Amino acid sequence: MRTPHALLATAVTAAALAAAAVTPAPAAGADAVPPPGTYYVQSVVTGLNAADASGTVEQHRPRGNEDRQQWTLRPDGAGHLLENTDSPGSCLGRAGDRARTVSCTAAEARWQITPLGADRYALADPGADRRLTVAPKPAGATHPAPLSVGSGAGALAAWYLTPADAPGGPVPPRGQRTLDQVTFLTAHNAYANGVDGGFAPPFVDLFPNQSRGIQQQLADGVRGFMLDVHQTPDGAILCHNSCTLVRRPVALWVDLQRIVDFLRARPDEFVTVFLEDYVDPGVLRAELDRVQGLSEVLYRPDRTGVRENGWPTTGELAADGHRLLIFTDHSREADRSAGLTRDTFGVMYQREWTVENHWSMGPGVGSSDWSCYSRWYDANTTIPLTRTEPGFRPLFVMNHFRDAAVASTAATDNAKLADRARRFCQPAARKKPTYLAVDRYDLGNPAAAVDALNTYTYP
C-alpha cells in the first residue's frame, strides 16, 4: 500500500526547494499572455488551483472541471478578465486585501497579467503595487487556503495559467521518445498477487491487489512495479504492512531477479521498481547483491547528467543496456544519519526524481475522489505536482486506486483511468503521467489508457 510513512515528513532537498520556489525575473522574450480560453489559475509554490468558494477565492486541490476551478481568460481593455466557467458573469477579482469573485463588469475584476518567464505569470491590480498571492506558510501548517491581494513578490505571487485541455503534440517515433514522454502501465502492490507467495496475514490476504504473478505481469505489459519491502531476520521481504503471520512471503531479490531475467531476454524493454521501503540501507544493499546481472541493467540517472540535460530516449537506454530504474520512498536525510545512502548502490530517492499524487481515491466501495494533488504536500514538505527544474522535468507517478482492492470497484475505476489522467491529473501536474498505477490491472482495460496517453506529448 502506498501509504504515507513517517519518513515522508522531512524537508525536501535544497535543490528541489529552489526549483519549486524561486520565480525567475522577467526577461526579454519572456512568455506572452496566453490566448483566450479556459484555464486553471495554479500556484507555482503549492500546485493548488484558485477556486470560487462561495465568493471567497481559495486554493484547492485540483479537481478538474469540478469545484469551480476553471476560469475563462479574455482581454478587457488594457487588462484581462478571468470568468468562472460555472458562474457566468462572475470573475476572479478583489475586495480589499482578499481575492473574491466579483461582477465581471466591476473594475476589481480586471487584472494586469505580466509574464515572469518559464510559463509563470503575475496577476496584478492595474495601476497598484498589489498582486494575487498565496499567504505565507505558518510554522507547523500548510499555506492558508484563502488567497490574498497585496504587495507580495517572488514565488508566492507567481501563477501558472494552465489550459484546461491542452492540445497534445506529436509523439516521436518509438525509440526516439524521452523517458518523460512515455507512459507505463504500473501495478500497485505488484507482489500482493496470491500467486507467487503470501503477502499478508490470513483474511487480509483475501483481497490481493493483483491476481497474476510477477512473470505474468511482465508478459502482460506491466512495466512499473510497486513493492513494499520489510526487514526480517531473513532479509528484505515483500509483505503488506508487516510480515508477521504471512505464509511463504517472497524475498525482494526473487522478484528483482525475475525482472532482470526478463530484461536480459528483452533488450528493448524498460522497467521501473518503486520500493515502499522499511529496511536499513545495509540490508537493502545485501539483498540487491543477490540479484545476478543487476549491475548490467541498472540505470543511474544521477551519473548521466539527467538533471542538467533531461531524460534520455528509450533508444539510448536500450543501446546502453541500462533499463531498470529503482526508486525508494525512504529519506536521504535518515540514510545520512545511518551512514549509508541508497543512491551509492544505485537506488534513487524518489522525491528527487519524480512527483506523485496522493495515493488513494477513497474506500474500497462507494464514490471516489478524483482530486489530483501531491503526495508530498504537508506541514513539513512542499513538492507540488507542477515541480520542474531548468532542463529537467520529473517523472509523474499517477496513483489510481483505493484504500482496499475490491475487484468490482477496480474494474470500474480502471475503465475511467484515461479520463481522469487527461482531464484531472495531467493539468494538475502540467505534465503527462509517466506511470499509471492501478490495482487489478487485468480488469477495466487500463492498458487502453496507457496506449491513449502514448499517442501524444504534453506541451
The string of DSSP letters for 91-128 reads EEEEETTEEEEEETTSGGG-BEEEEEETTEEEEE-TTS
* Angle separating helix axes 252-265 and 281-289, nearest 10 degrees: 40
User: If pLDDT is split at 50, 70 and 90, which confidence band does 459 have?
Assistant: confident
C-alpha dist (Å) from residue 217 to 161, 176, 206? 39, 25, 20
C-alpha dist (Å) from residue 209 to 45, 214, 327, 367? 34, 12, 20, 19
Burial class (CB in 10 A: 0-12, 13-18, 19+), 173: exposed
With pLDDT > 90 as the criterion, what percentage of the chain qualifies? 89
Residue 294 three-state SS: helix
Q: What is the mean pLDDT of the chain?
A: 92
Q: Is residue 19 predicted with pLDDT exceeding 60? A: no
Residue 413: closest CA among 164, 190, 180, 209: 209
Q: Is residue 172 predicted with pLDDT exceeding 60? A: yes
Dist. CA 15–CA 83, nearest whole Å: 36
Q: Is residue 22 predicted with pLDDT exceeding 80? A: no
Lowest-confidence segment of 3-12, 113-122, 433-442 by average pLDDT:
3-12
Residue with C-alpha cell 483505493?
402
Angle at 430 between CA 320 and CA 19, to 5 degrees: 75
With pLDDT > 70 as the criterion, what percentage of the chain qualifies? 93
Lowest-confidence segment of 8-12, 307-311, 446-450 by average pLDDT:
8-12
Q: Is residue 331 predicted with pLDDT exceeding 80? A: yes
Contact 438, 411 (CB under 8 A): no
What's 421's DSSP letter?
Answer: I
As a whole number, mean pLDDT of residues 123-140 equals 95
DSSP helix, strand, coil percent of the chain (3-state; round to 5): 25, 30, 45
The predicted pLDDT at position 387 comes to: 96
Question: pLDDT tens, 213-258?
Answer: 999 999 999 999 999 999 999 999 999 999 999 999 999 999 999 9
Dist. CA 26–CA 380, nearest whole Å: 30
Q: Which residues contact 324 (CB under 8 A, 6 or more apart)?
A: 259, 260, 263, 270, 271, 272, 273, 294, 297, 298, 299
Residue 292 three-state SS: coil
User: If pLDDT is split at 50, 70 and 90, which confidence band does 53 have?
Assistant: very high
User: If pLDDT is split at 50, 70 and 90, which confidence band does 1 have?
Assistant: low
Dist. CA 62–CA 377, nearest whole Å: 13
Dist. CA 249–CA 200, nearest whole Å: 8
- Phi-psi category of residue 268: left, alpha or beta, with phi > 0 → left and psi -120 to 50 → alpha: alpha
